[in-house]
Amino acid sequence: MHKKIILTGLLSLYSATSFAAGTAPEQTTYTQASLDNLARNLEVKHEFVDSYPEQCPNNLDECYRSKIHLEYPHNYQPKLGNWAIYFSQLTPVQTVNSSEFTITHINGDLHKITPTKQFSGFSANQPITIDFYNYGTQITRSEFMPNYFVYSEGLKATIIDSTRTDIHPETGLETQDYLLPFTDKQTQFKLSKTDNTQWASAQQIYATTPEVPQGLNLSGRLIPQPASVEITSNKTIDLSKGLSFTTTGVSTAVLAPAIERLNLVGLKTSKDGFPVNIIVNSELNSNANNEFQSVEDYRLTSTPLAITIKASSNTGAFYGLMSLAGLVSVKHQVIPSLKIKDSPRYRFRGLHIDVARNFLSKNFILKTIDQMAAYKLNKLHLHLADDEGWRIEIPGLAELSEVGGRRCFNAPEKCLMPQLGSEITGNSQSDGYYSVEDYQDILAYAKARHIQVIPSLDMPGHSRAAIHAMEARYQKYLAKGDVELALQYRLVEPEDKTQYSSIQHYSDNTLNVCLDSTYHFIDKVIAEVQAMHQQAGTPLTTYHIGADETAGAWLESPSCDKLKIEQAEKVAGLHTLNGYFIEKISAMLADKNIKVAGWNDGMGETRPQNMPKNVQTNSWSLLFEKGHIATHQQANHRWDTVISTPEATYFDFPYQAHPEERGNHWAARHISTQKVFEFMPDNLPAHAEFWFDSTGHPYRSDDSQSPLDQGVRYKGVQGHLWSEMLRSDSQAEYMLYPRLLALAERAWHKAEWELDYDYSGVVYDENSGHFSKKAQQQRAKDWQSFAYVLGARELAKLAKSDVFYRIPTVGATVENGKLKVKTPFPYIEVEYREVQADTAQSASQNWQPYTSTSEVTGTIEVRAIGADGVRKGRRLNL
């Protein structure tokens, strides 16, 4: 009989006592060898039981139930009573129904399981089951973290081997053998009984995937789509012999990254190649010339005699060459005779990358910059610091990167505690930081590709890494007897007894906004980052302070009590001290000629009249929770408003609603490439006509009380890659591509079918009918052309760039014994096999190429093949 226990979060197993009757137990003294042996042999299985139990403990509105099974291959009784197992669970454990174990939430997502006096040890091959309830919701497999580790006081913590992840040899995707399969399409998939989300089965994908036929004549279609394309004749131009460049007003050296892109797609540089004339003339952008509206505009003309690119700046010429690269495929270097007139929709076309939660390599950033440039994105928002890591070297504050850039266990002076299923050595792929040289290399690389880097070090919340690092610095100088230096950059006040819990369940992640030393620290950090930019030849003009999700800190801070009395006029009218902090940092940045940027929830706590003239706000409010209201309010302040709507721009969410698809779930159960493509950033409330909330229900957007002021426009749109569930560069690329191309499409080009914003204020819902049938038909046709080009040209370019893009899952059904399949993009090879119930099959056996005449019986598996012909997509059965 299995013993039962309940567990949530991170586990630790501490003391143990007597052992039950049976064969003689193995008696073990806790040496490092015995601890390592425990880590090697303990089999851990995590079982997700119920996503919405009938009754939650402690009167919680939301909870979920899990079990952890512990099994040992022989009788085992720890002789000493101080061993423990730790693990990451994103939300805190609430109830453990066990007499043998207790569970403690430590901080963030770290938990531990501790044996009670009733724990009697392991019987050989007899699992102990730990049954527990957690607060909140989890629904995707990637939310259940790996790398449990065992620890005993005085010894070195060791990862439990059975909880490590692996990489599937054919798909390259992470496997989680410690996590039992999710098979129940209700209790392991739905968030409630009324959840309408549909499991992305092969049949469901087939039923909902639009047809995109092969052989369409879309030779002039680009991603992103230009403002105007005119096919001037039926004569095509063969570029297979390469290109020969002639430049006026610009050097080929300045255009080198674009020429490298041309080389990548098969257009080599050759003195005998097809002539390409590039003309840059700043007067084309003069007030007297209305043809060129911005420095990013360009004109591209191709005839059988020559290709000509005209622009008013190097940037425009660069984008003209990128469009030339977009016209060809890697196998066919033929383009049509055409004229392109192009100008961007938005001046701000951004991508946010979180390298703080889990570190992403410098090489990943450089590769991403290449792809951003290829598709005309121009702002890279680097999220360099958060609770789980500080990822940039700051001269004079070595602890920030040396301590804050690493995660290990039980060494607070050397690193942060493990979080998010991280390893515990401090030297894993998800540990690290960019040196000054690394960061300046990134800046220079981006500048050469006409991309501005916007650094962000999140404050005052999300600051645990900074706080912990500065506490290590404090202790170092205190030990040397230098109290003044120790206090110089200290970010906390010991006398502040406020108890709080952040959105990620930290109790110590918010710096004290009432301490002078906090502002000394921030001034030092910004000055050093500004110097790095200056030395790299890319002046720091925008700095993102974060300013979001601050917990209820400082309530019992003596310094804050004092500030409220002595500087009452500075905090009058503010709901929180977070607004005071943002205003003060904004003024500090303005004094340095740096524009302040921040997330809209924090920026909304300020007094607009106390903010600088130039402000950027990123609006990430959920549309189905009336998010358009906050967005409109801040845009009406005349702030530069960047649309960061999670339902369309957060690429850390799954592509499809399926447990195997990596990602979070709080804003959307799935964000496909098509959904990103269908986003209408200029008209946020209108999405209520055809989008749903996070449980698949329609919603209503009433814009009648909070419309934009007449003529107010947004600055731009930004995609986002948060890294809580990304522990490798390849996982990050999987989540980015191909959705990044759809983001680029919407950022650069406003489609004819997009519903214009109505400044009079309109109410939208599924029946309001403002998005006409004609617009719907235009959108469907536009998606077909976008998807065609993506499949026919761009996926192969991603593969050639060594980008680990997501290979789509295959929609399939069987009709009259014949297999029928769909993929979202054309020219994707599909394989299938019949699954034999009584025959063992390896993952690579018996696959056959799909054809329209494929006949099948029984259970079928289908999968797609990547553009490289080698990597396989995730398989589905039907």
CB atoms inside a 10 Å sphere around CB 56: 18
Q: Which two tokens stand for residue 855?
A: 């006949």
CA distances (Å), origin 860, targets 210, 659, 721, 812: 22, 20, 35, 9
| C-alpha 500: how far from chain center | 27
Matching residue, tokens 């690429």: 651
Longest pairwise C-alpha distance within the chain: 95
Burial 137-157 (b: 16+ CB within 10 A, else e): bbbbbbbbbbbbbbbbeebeb
| C-alpha 234: how far from chain center | 43
Task: State the sign of the Cα–Cα–Cα–Cα dihedral 620, 622, 623, 627.
Answer: negative
Q: Which two tokens stand for residue 313?
A: 């700046």
Q: Which two tokens stand for residue 442?
A: 């990134």
> What type of residue is 695?
T
296 tagged catalytic: no
The C-alpha atoms of residue 470 and residue 483 are separated, in whole angstroms, by: 14
> What type of residue is 531?
A
CB atoms inside a 10 Å sphere around CB 337: 19
Q: Please check whether residue 301 is in contact with residue 766, taking contact to mean a CB–CB distance below 8 angstroms.
A: no
Which of 260, 402, 528, 549 is flagged as catalytic? 549
CB atoms inside a 10 Å sphere around CB 530: 19
Q: Which residues have C-beta within 8 Å of that of residue 201, sequence separation ≥ 6?
A: 876, 878
The C-alpha atoms of residue 358 and residue 725 are separated, in whole angstroms, by: 8
The C-alpha atoms of residue 630 and residue 213 are separated, in whole angstroms, by: 42
Matching residue, tokens 């084309």: 284
What are phi and psi for residue 805, nearest 5 degrees? -75, 165
The C-alpha atoms of residue 545 and residue 596 are separated, in whole angstroms, by: 7
Q: What is the three-class DSSP state of 274?
A: strand
CA distances (Å), origin 211, targets 264, 540, 774: 30, 47, 19
Burial 835-864 (b: 16+ CB within 10 A, else e): eeeeeeeeeeeebeebeeebebeeebbbbb
Let me know if 610 is exposed, middle or buried by CB neighbors in 10 A (0-12, 13-18, 19+).
middle
The C-alpha atoms of residue 226 and residue 743 are separated, in whole angstroms, by: 14
Let me know if 253 is exposed, middle or buried by CB neighbors in 10 A (0-12, 13-18, 19+).
exposed
CB atoms inside a 10 Å sphere around CB 193: 8
The C-alpha atoms of residue 715 and residue 641 are separated, in whole angstroms, by: 5
Q: What is the three-class DSSP state of 529?
A: helix
Stated length of the chain:
878
Of 553, 396, 330, 421, which is closest to residue 143 (Cα–Cα)? 421
DSSP alpha helices (H): ranges in 65-216? Answer: 202-208
- Give, in degrees to the nearest 5, the angle at Cα 571 between 628 and 566: 170
Q: What is the three-class DSSP state of 457?
A: strand
Radius of gyration of the chain (CA): 29
Q: How would you classify the pairing of strands 830-834 and 860-864?
A: antiparallel
DSSP assignment of 684-742, as one string? SGGGGGT---TTS----EE-SSSPPPTT----EEEEEE--TT--SHHHHHHHHTTHHHH
Which residue numbers are catalytic? Answer: 549
